[in-house]
Structure formats: structure tokens, C-alpha cells
């Protein structure tokens, strides 16, 4: 999947005019790319469109229009675009109550390393987590992690032929499995290998 360039982005004035329609389009698109794994984690499978939206929103909120500022945002977000043999995922650990969230994040240290996907007939692929920076300290893990799942050519071929996809988290305090990723999500994720 091609990385974003400054020429792929809308200038701030144009984005202000088109934001509502663009946002609605992206939210529909994201809906097919979100996966709840258990009650407290959501996996957001990123792609070029989701990353473009994130960059556009950052430029808008920070009022960035200088070429270097735009380049900096692209440099920060482009690594989230899949490379053709992988999925890039934003892992969200979600607890509504702040006190419960604090306790959970302390208990769930290392959860990002227990995230996996499995194409039927193949071995599990565990996430490569937080390549940009460490998101855990001595006391707790972060509520947001960035994961990469590298698939083999055989796994991708099996998915294209209709193999099912499972996903899960294997952590001593959080074990959940989605035995079959919904068909709409599975099909959306196949586009990352085009």
C-alpha cells in the first residue's frame, strides 16, 4: 500500500469544506476494520484511508500548514499503513471507569505481546508491538499500542481462497478469542494485501 505524500492531503480550507462528508466516509470504512476482542480491547486495523483521516485531523486541530509540519505528521503516521504483507493495528484497551482502568493497566502489562491472528490451517502470528517507542513502564502498560502482524505468502493465499481468520489475546489476566472474524471485516482486511 502506498504511503501518503503531502500531495494526497487536502489543504486546510478544502478540508474544512469537505470534512463532514470525508469523516462520514471514513467512519463507515473504519466500522468494517474494527474488531472487539473480549469486552475491553478493540483492534483498529489501519490502512491508507484511516491514516489519511488521522493526518488531516491533526493538521486541522493543530492548524499545521507549513511544509515541514506536514512532513513531520506524515513521518509519524505513515508507518501505520500496511506494507503489503502485514496488518497494522491500533490496540485500544478500554475501561470506562478511571479507577478500574488504572488497576487494569497495571495488571495487563505485556498484553500487546499476547495479541495474535491465525489463518485457518496455519500457525498463530503474534504481534510485533510498539516499534516506535516503549509504551509500558514499571507500573503499567499504555491504553494504546501499535501492533504489526506479518503474514506469510501462504497465509495470504489461504485467506484469498476463503480461509477463516481468528484473532485473540493470550495474557494471564485477559484471554479472549474471536474464533471467526466477521466476513465483512475479513474481506476489508484482504484489501491490505492488494
Q: What is the mean pLDDT of the segment spanning 3-32?
A: 95
Query: Hey, which residues does 136 pair with through a beta bridge?
Result: 141
Q: What gap in Å lies between CA 93 and CA 104, rounded to an integer?
A: 9
Which of 43-52, 108-117, 128-137, 180-189 comes out lowest in average pLDDT?
128-137
* Band (131; pLDDT cuts 50, 70, 90): confident
Burial class (CB in 10 A: 0-12, 13-18, 19+), 104: buried
Q: What gap in Å lies between CA 167 and CA 177, rounded to an integer?
A: 6
Q: Please tell me what DSSP assigns to residue 111.
A: G
Supply the pLDDT for residue 53: 96
Q: Does the pLDDT of residue 90 top 90, yes or no?
A: yes
pLDDT tens per residue across span 156-188: 999 999 999 999 999 999 999 999 999 999 999
Burial class (CB in 10 A: 0-12, 13-18, 19+), 6: exposed
Quick one: how far is CA 86 from the chain centroid?
11
Pairing state of beta strands 165-171 and 125-126?
unpaired
Supply the pLDDT for residue 99: 95
Question: What's the alpha-carbon Rg for the chain, to the nearest Å?
Answer: 18
For the whole model, what pTM was predicted? 0.91
Q: Does the pLDDT of residue 139 top 90, yes or no?
A: no
pLDDT tens per residue across span 43-61: 999 999 999 999 999 999 9
Q: Does the pLDDT of residue 138 top 90, yes or no?
A: no
Residues near 192 by beta carbon (within 8 Å), at least 6 away in sequence: 1, 45, 47, 82, 84, 86, 87
Q: Does the pLDDT of residue 132 top 80, yes or no?
A: no
For domain 35-46+82-194, give the fold: Immunoglobulin-like (2.60.40)
Task: State the number of CA atoms in the 13 A half-sphere of 21 facing the CB.
Answer: 5
* Band (133; pLDDT cuts 50, 70, 90): low
Could you state, in order of their start, the residue ranges of all structural domains in the chain?
A: 1-31+48-81, 35-46+82-194
Which of 134, 51, 37, 133 is closest to 91 using CA atoms?
Answer: 37
Above pLDDT 90, what percent of the chain? 90
Instruction: Extract the C-alpha cell encoding 180.
Output: 471467526
Pairing state of beta strands 115-119 and 165-171?
antiparallel
Give the mean pLDDT of the chain.
94
Which of 155, 163, 81 is closest to 125 using CA atoms?
Answer: 155
Helix (H, G, I), strand (E, B) or coil at 171: strand
Amino acid at each position: 500500500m502506498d504511503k501518503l505524500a503531502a500531495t494526497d492531503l487536502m489543504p486546510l480550507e478544502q478540508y474544512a469544506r469537505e470534512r463532514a462528508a470525508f469523516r462520514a466516509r471514513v467512519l463507515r470504512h473504519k466500522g468494517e476494520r474494527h474488531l472487539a476482542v473480549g469486552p475491553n480491547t478493540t483492534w483498529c486495523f489501519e490502512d491508507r484511508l484511516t491514516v489519511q483521516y488521522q493526518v488531516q485531523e491533526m493538521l486541522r486541530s493543530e492548524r499545521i500548514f507549513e511544509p515541514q509540519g506536514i512532513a513531520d505528521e506524515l513521518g509519524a503516521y505513515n508507518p501505520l499503513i500496511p506494507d503489503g504483507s502485514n496488518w497494522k493495528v491500533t490496540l485500544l484497551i478500554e475501561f470506562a471507569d478511571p479507577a478500574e482502568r488504572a488497576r487494569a493497566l497495571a495488571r495487563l502489562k505485556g498484553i500487546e505481546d499476547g495479541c495474535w491472528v491465525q489463518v485457518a490451517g496455519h500457525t498463530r502470528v503474534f504481534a510485533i508491538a510498539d516499534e516506535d517507542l516503549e509504551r509500558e513502564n514499571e507500573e503499567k502498560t499504555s491504553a494504546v499500542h501499535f501492533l504489526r502482524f506479518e503474514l506469510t505468502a501462504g497465509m495470504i493465499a489461504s485467506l484469498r481462497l476463503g480461509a477463516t481468520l481468528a484473532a485473540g489475546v493470550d495474557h494471564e489476566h485477559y484471554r479472549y478469542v474471536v474464533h471467526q472474524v466477521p466476513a465483512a471485516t475479513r474481506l476489508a482486511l484482504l484489501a491490505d494485501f492488494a
